[in-house]
Structure 1
């Protein structure tokens, strides 16, 4: 009898605690119509009637530990807006890390914010974060891809104030920014209120508990009920744009005369919420030039194309609707369109993304298994991408994807299906199958002949892969399995890209490759010492071409440590068998046509943010490396290092330095240096002045090359940019840029391009 009573008591206590835990994660949001001024002061009387919750759990680096600071969150909605306030206490207000920076550049500082999943299904969440000075950071988190895209920008309002006890932040988020079901009655959204508290560790503090054994993070968000009268209102934004610029360019190796060019353009962007779930975006005569220079990259002893992130607003907006397992939509391939149109949205379990844009010319990657190249056709093209996803349940998603590129003499059509199945809280299976059909111009291969295309010895891999008279049809597929829990993870992947597969609107460097990958790791956690997580992991992979010939085999392992001072350490080792260049470039065979090399190397990485003044990192790799210019094994020293320095509230200095040295045949082959420096003065959250200087210097030992090369190659890029942003769409840019280069024929840095540009856009929200 006693045992039965004890069992009933235990069950009752368990149910009670379960009820309390669920209750803590499920909030009710009041609807209040009182006016509020967003100024970071909380003087408005409406805050006395708002909902309130405290942030009681450190979810990273610890698991649901008690926070070292107190944080209260107040919130309400008025039918068209969500208004949130954070009261963040701090025992040492002087230690608060807060700086005036441009949008989306405040990570690593004190931050507070809210994550919202309007469909409450763990697929996608909007993020809105603010630092103590009111600087905004927003992003979209996609559970399917595992990515957080900070390139998404919304128009919302925020303010922050430092106080004697910490800081206060207010946020006003228009509901029109997000897609949601506009139905009658109460709605339940996924929500998480978050504070980042960077001190000895960067504490992530939340109002909900998280389970490390559950690999899905968005699935564990809390819930908020309310929004009974929530409306998105008139969801239309009209953005006229004006661009003016003058530039001049020359070839210092020729006569050195300048050629001048003027550019004055007027364009128009439109964003229209056709329904609460579907959004149309259109652009006419856009200026898609890069306002801010890309991060500099060193490209030496590398046969494949480099990847650069998309920054142009039309393509960035709602880009997650086009994401799948492969990168099939890489819009940097579209250079200079006259128009673009996009439809994105979600209706119940159906998500869709469609866009079309033309281009003044047509460029695409010619992929291979020993390198890739870029082909350019002086033909206008039409570019299309479509993506559909059906969320059958919380665990199963099915998708379709298609892209088309078409010009007068060229066409590439890609069609694919994919699925994500969450087998359990720890196990996930992702599958994608894609088919492509490609027609190349008959003379395209001549772009890649060394000299005489009639001689087989002059043909290169890209020439052979474009010398097709018939339509190329190829398949690509991915099978990814992953099991992740608190202590360990395992991964198994199969990656296949047949020789005739092309994804010309995507970023696809490799074809004629079939790869197996197996890996895993184990983690240890600690809350009582200088370290908080140690992980040992590794993987083994092997790659063949379509004929079963070995291209690469690799075994690698790492030990990773997260520790105090917001530090991260990594030590790794790799042993790789790989083939070099083809001895007969007119033959795509691997066996009997290449030499196998064995590379063994070690690498180390450290990253640390010991205080609010500086954050630095350094990566080193030393060991064997194939000399791709001479097809032999060499000895490499490679490093990437950098720091971000905060000089007061307004000024920041960023420097990234890359060093690459390769010795081959017992003597030096090359030494390469790259420096990318950015100095920014932020006047206030809206405006900054930024200087960017990028300099590369490559010195080669010409006598150690089998082909003729320049002994020196230097490039200098310079940009001065003033930016004023009222919001992400209403902004003004004024900038000057200049570039110069040097080689053996010049013996000096000679300027080859100069430009002065201005861009203005205004967001009209009728």
Structure 2
């Protein structure tokens, strides 16, 4: 009797867990968006009928049906999205991953059913794709990953419908199992006055882990990934020209032609282990970075990675601290990457050389960028062991080495979820570094010069405890980077500081017409250097409010005591060598979408700010608006502007204006033409800047780019770019750089 009882419990448990079945078909499905193939009659039909956000599991305001099917090679999905007012559907032709604010349908897949990672595949009503990786261990969600999959959509009289085919070869899963059990969630984004997130399963606010709440789907019997192999040759060709321009003369243009052939390889050694290799890789930066203002900033700017070799499976390298910033590697000749997962074990390794060696030289009051004219070797190894869905242990190590320099780092980390609402994150690191006397000399009379030595070694510690029950949330963090700690492979522009943070907040939800969600929160933090000298003490209060027309408004008040620059740059001392300033700052941000095709936001900062050049307290005014307008289904206009004005002692210190303007015409899902204009105008007041050598800095960069993408790896680019500048000697903008370029790559999937 007892045996039958336990058998009944086991059967009941399996039925409760595996509640979506994925039927198998042997028939052919054509991905064309019309759902006319006979095979769809065999599909499992799942309703997306739960409004999971910002409402909590209320009935969905519109009908959506998903059809699920597989044939051992592809996971097929179709969506029938009804709409009572089809004219309000947000559906625009845009570049890949640029449609997150459109109407969307798609799926999230945790293919290992371990509640750690989830693939995201979404399509707008016209078939434009958006994909991402959601990492529960780090809390990050990145759309930098680009898989090769298929989607076609079309508008219908009562809404829209989309067909999707996801090749199993692009998913990591354990094909040793006779039957797959994956966690999945079928999702529809329905952006109208509110942006509704509709789901096939409930999402409880009391549990911040959304991957953990996805339903289990069973199917794919006997599915095999096989030892898939891809070969991607690329050709980049073009020419660049430079010239010197002064008030008296312009030199002739100096032309430098460039043609490079490269080869990228990817081999699925096993279904769970992938090897990437690259020979003479193309790491050309095809599209311009988003412009940033650096005036009166003391730390290095961060730029997103856009290069395919580093982006593939980059989430395998993530850890609590940002220790892998691959934009540090500029021009490698070769590279290799190995990533994989075996049951509870995941690992990742990459190595690449670099023609030059670039890294951030961190300090506690500012940072610099060092460039060595030496070839370097760069490598990272990451390992994680998931003892359970709640407990993970990890190891990371990195190496950077050239003839006169090295930086080696290694460390352990832990993430433990005590409950659905409480988690602890720990990380311990140790680094050993050496920098040459010549490099130190190049940073003479700066903090960086004092930070560099021929023998440095120190640890770093990170501790974070978080609680989030859907209403109350609080966190405690402690980060200690000792004086001689360096993480040159990562983006860590600060060192020699210990920071303690305590935050607390509460969240409300409402069905009112004028607001649907509000958060009141605050935090207090204090930072010292390794000698326990105060660097900064800060208290902040935040109010955030979500309302109609997809609007969001936030306001924050900050009161901080902050250290200014050193009085004597030949000493790292803080006490007696710096001035302490009190900054009081008001920051507001607002965004809304008054029309389906129009989005606007603006940020305003007002209050005190340190004038770092002159070591005094000033008054800051910063205004940063942004507008995105889909003028037609094909044409998009984006404009960003930053205005920064600093005043001290009753007079202007500087005025900085930066404009980033982009016009994109999307001929089809695959083809676009984009014009980018970036204008910078910085004017400093010589009467209020003693010792100023240059008053005016202006530049105008432009880029015209045509692209055709059959998929993320089979593509064609052609373009033209130039740059003009103006300084105190020139009366107008003068071009000093221009180039033309073309790139072609083709992916053979074997």
The verdict on a shared fold, with TM-score over 0.5 as the criterion, is yes
Contact 1:634 1:663 in 2 (8 A): yes
User: Aligned ranges for residues 699-714 of structure 1 at < 5 Å?
Assistant: 699-714=683-698
Whether 1:96 and 2:89 are equivalent positions in the alignment is yes
Contact 1:80 1:233 in 2 (8 A): no
Of 133, 145, 162, the residue aligned with 1:169 is 162
Match of 1:412 in 2: 407
Whether 1:565 and 2:552 are equivalent positions in the alignment is no
Whether 1:727 and 2:711 are equivalent positions in the alignment is yes
Contact 1:25 1:207 in 2 (8 A): no
Match of 1:143 in 2: 136
SS in structure 2 of the partner of residue 31 of structure 1: coil
1:380 and 1:327 map into 2 onto residues whose CA distance is 24
Whether 1:598 and 2:593 are equivalent positions in the alignment is no
1:721 and 1:21 map into 2 onto residues whose CA distance is 53
Deviation at 1:519, TM superposition (A): 0.4
1:131 and 1:22 map into 2 onto residues whose CA distance is 33
Whether 1:383 and 2:413 are equivalent positions in the alignment is no
Whether 1:649 and 2:633 are equivalent positions in the alignment is yes
User: Aligned ranges for residues 97-246 of structure 1 at < 5 Å?
Assistant: 97-246=90-239
2:13 and 2:397 map into 1 onto residues whose CA distance is 47
**1:320–1:20 CA distance, 2 compared to 1 (3 A):** closer
Deviation at 1:25, TM superposition (A): 7.5
SS in structure 1 of the partner of residue 437 of structure 2: coil
Contact 1:653 1:678 in 2 (8 A): yes
Match of 2:4 in 1: none
2:373 and 2:624 map into 1 onto residues whose CA distance is 38
**1:637–1:552 CA distance, 2 compared to 1 (3 A):** same
Deviation at 1:257, TM superposition (A): 3.2
2:458 and 2:623 map into 1 onto residues whose CA distance is 38
Contact 1:580 1:628 in 2 (8 A): yes
User: Aligned ranges for residues 429-440 of structure 1 at < 5 Å?
Assistant: 429-440=424-435
2:356 and 2:471 map into 1 onto residues whose CA distance is 51
Match of 2:293 in 1: 298
Whether 1:321 and 2:286 are equivalent positions in the alignment is no
Deviation at 1:447, TM superposition (A): 1.0
SS in structure 2 of the partner of residue 684 of structure 1: coil
2:25 and 2:451 map into 1 onto residues whose CA distance is 65
Whether 1:58 and 2:51 are equivalent positions in the alignment is yes
Contact 1:361 1:380 in 2 (8 A): yes
SS in structure 2 of the partner of residue 257 of structure 1: coil
Q: What is the CA deviation profile of residues 204-260 of structure 1, one whole-angstrom value per residue up to 9, with x for unaligned ones?
A: 000000110012111111110111121113411100001101111122248633221
Of 561, 581, 587, the residue aligned with 2:571 is 587
Deviation at 1:362, TM superposition (A): 0.5
Match of 1:251 in 2: 244
Of 26, 34, 41, the residue aligned with 1:41 is 34
Q: What is the CA deviation profile of residues 399-424 of structure 1, one whole-angstrom value per residue up to 9, with x for unaligned ones?
A: 00000001111111010110100110
User: Aligned ranges for residues 465-614 of structure 1 at < 5 Å?
Assistant: 465-466=451-452, 468-469=453-454, 471-614=455-598
Deviation at 1:184, TM superposition (A): 3.9
Contact 2:352 2:378 in 1 (8 A): yes
Match of 1:681 in 2: 665
Match of 1:464 in 2: 450
2:333 and 2:379 map into 1 onto residues whose CA distance is 14
**1:567–1:21 CA distance, 2 compared to 1 (3 A):** farther
Q: What is the CA deviation profile of residues 69-99 of structure 1, one whole-angstrom value per residue up to 9, with x for unaligned ones?
A: 0000001111111000000000011111101
1:132 and 1:178 map into 2 onto residues whose CA distance is 24
Whether 1:72 and 2:82 are equivalent positions in the alignment is no
Give the root-mean-square deviation of aligned CA atoms. Answer: 1.5
Contact 1:662 1:669 in 2 (8 A): yes
Deviation at 1:20, TM superposition (A): 12
2:13 and 2:385 map into 1 onto residues whose CA distance is 34
1:160 and 1:109 map into 2 onto residues whose CA distance is 13
**1:25–1:184 CA distance, 2 compared to 1 (3 A):** closer
SS in structure 2 of the partner of residue 609 of structure 1: strand
Contact 1:532 1:562 in 2 (8 A): yes
Bigger shift: residues 525-534 or 364-373: 525-534
SS in structure 2 of the partner of residue 610 of structure 1: strand
SS in structure 2 of the partner of residue 703 of structure 1: helix
1:144 and 1:258 map into 2 onto residues whose CA distance is 52
Q: What is the CA deviation profile of residues 129-158 of structure 1, one whole-angstrom value per residue up to 9, with x for unaligned ones?
A: 001101111111101111111110111111
Contact 1:580 1:596 in 2 (8 A): yes
1:23 and 1:530 map into 2 onto residues whose CA distance is 40
1:507 and 1:99 map into 2 onto residues whose CA distance is 35
What TM-score do you get using the length of structure 2 for normalisation? 0.97
Where structure 2 has 5 or more consecutive residues not aligned to the other structure, the ranges are 1-7
Match of 1:85 in 2: 78
Deviation at 1:707, TM superposition (A): 2.4
Q: What is the CA deviation profile of residues 339-384 of structure 1, one whole-angstrom value per residue up to 9, with x for unaligned ones?
A: 1100011110000110000000111111001110011111100100
Q: What is the CA deviation profile of residues 604-645 of structure 1, one whole-angstrom value per residue up to 9, with x for unaligned ones?
A: 110111221200110001000011010000000012110100
User: Aligned ranges for residues 354-369 of structure 1 at < 5 Å?
Assistant: 354-369=349-364
Match of 1:716 in 2: 700
1:335 and 1:764 map into 2 onto residues whose CA distance is 27
2:693 and 2:383 map into 1 onto residues whose CA distance is 49
1:395 and 1:692 map into 2 onto residues whose CA distance is 46
- Paired residues, what number? 739
Of 254, 261, 273, the residue aligned with 2:256 is 261
1:556 and 1:404 map into 2 onto residues whose CA distance is 38
Contact 1:54 1:72 in 2 (8 A): yes
Contact 2:316 2:382 in 1 (8 A): yes
1:301 and 1:154 map into 2 onto residues whose CA distance is 40
Where structure 1 has 5 or more consecutive residues not aligned to the other structure, the ranges are 1-14, 450-458
Match of 2:644 in 1: 660
User: Aligned ranges for residues 611-630 of structure 1 at < 5 Å?
Assistant: 611-630=595-614
Q: What is the CA deviation profile of residues 80-121 of structure 1, one whole-angstrom value per residue up to 9, with x for unaligned ones?
A: 110000000000111111011111010110000001001111
Match of 2:388 in 1: 393
Deviation at 1:527, TM superposition (A): 1.9
1:746 and 1:482 map into 2 onto residues whose CA distance is 55
SS in structure 1 of the partner of residue 748 of structure 2: coil
Deviation at 1:21, TM superposition (A): 13
Match of 2:5 in 1: none
**1:22–1:749 CA distance, 2 compared to 1 (3 A):** farther
